[in-house]
Amino acid sequence: MPFSILISYSEACDTARPPSDFAGTLRGTCTECGTDKILFSIVTDGLPEVEDEHPICSCGSDAFILCLCERYEGDEGLSGFFDEGVIVGKCVVCGVNRTFLFTD
């Protein structure tokens, strides 16, 4: 099901967007039924969420099919070890893929 999403970034999150080590909450609103859900959350030491982002595709749509995938850990980690996550989405209107968050 497609979601319109709101990403809330914690003070613990780095400033790169998408962040390389996400802390915060990913909320989704189903574009078909309007149900709101927390889709993913990492709370770090009780630090507040201080910044919000409502991603919109370059075509103007805010509806995405989302996926959480594992990816290889970088050069600093174990070679060939799946330990880092990535949340990606595909726009339901134009089909463009987009990376939203990197998790660890």
Q: pLDDT per residue over 47-101, tens digit each?
A: 889 899 999 999 999 999 999 887 666 666 556 656 678 899 999 999 999 999 9
Mean pLDDT, rounded, of the chain = 87
Tell me what pLDDT residue 79 has.
Answer: 61
Q: Give the range of the structural domain holding residue 92, as residue numbers without chain letter.
A: 3-103
- Single-letter amino acid, residue 58: S
Tell me what pLDDT residue 78 has.
Answer: 59
Q: Total domain count for the chain?
A: 1
Residues whose CB is less than 8 angstroms from the CB of residue 22 and which lie 6 or more positions away in sequence, other chains included: 9, 13, 42, 101, 102, 103, 104
